[in-house]
Amino acid sequence: MSKNLSDKKPAGAKTAVSKENINEAAFAFGRENYILLFISIGLLLIGYFLMAGGKAENPNVFNEEVFSFRRITLAPIVVMMGYALAIYAIVKKAD
């Protein structure tokens, strides 16, 4: 239980910290994570823009354009891909 006095560092001694350690500690994600996150935001925006529209000119007349392939199938798939990519970008370990 005796401590060696030579193991103690002086009170004013600084430890060597490299620039890489500072950069890694400053950001939660790596460069690739941010790129994937921005791509996923782009996919989400594209998906929501694809869903937009289909408004009838006359409220008493039904517009079949609401049920187009673009709004019912394509847009939700693009949005789901955007969310999946966002989750992957967050979970992926930064290099």
On whether residue 42 sits in a domain, the answer given is yes
CA-wise closest residue to 91 among 47, 28, 41, 43 = 28
Q: What are the pLDDT digits (tens) for 36-81?
A: 999 999 999 999 999 998 888 888 888 888 889 999 999 999 999 9
Q: Which domain holds residue 79?
A: 37-95
Rounded to two decimals, what is the model's pTM?
A: 0.68
Judge whether 10 lies within some domain. no
pLDDT for position 42 = 98
pLDDT value at position 65?
85
Give pLDDT tens digits for 21-40: 655 567 788 999 999 999 99
Residue 2 lies in a domain: no
48 in any annotated domain = yes
- Has residue 47 been placed in a domain? yes
What confidence tier does 16 reach under pLDDT thresholds 50, 70, 90? low
Any domain includes 17: no
Instruction: Look at residue 93 and tell me if it is in a domain.
Output: yes
Contact 49, 3 (CB under 8 A): no
CA 15, 20, 22, 28 dihedral sign is negative
pLDDT at 6 over 60: no
User: What is the total count of domains within the chain?
Assistant: 1
- Would you say residue 76 lies in a domain? yes
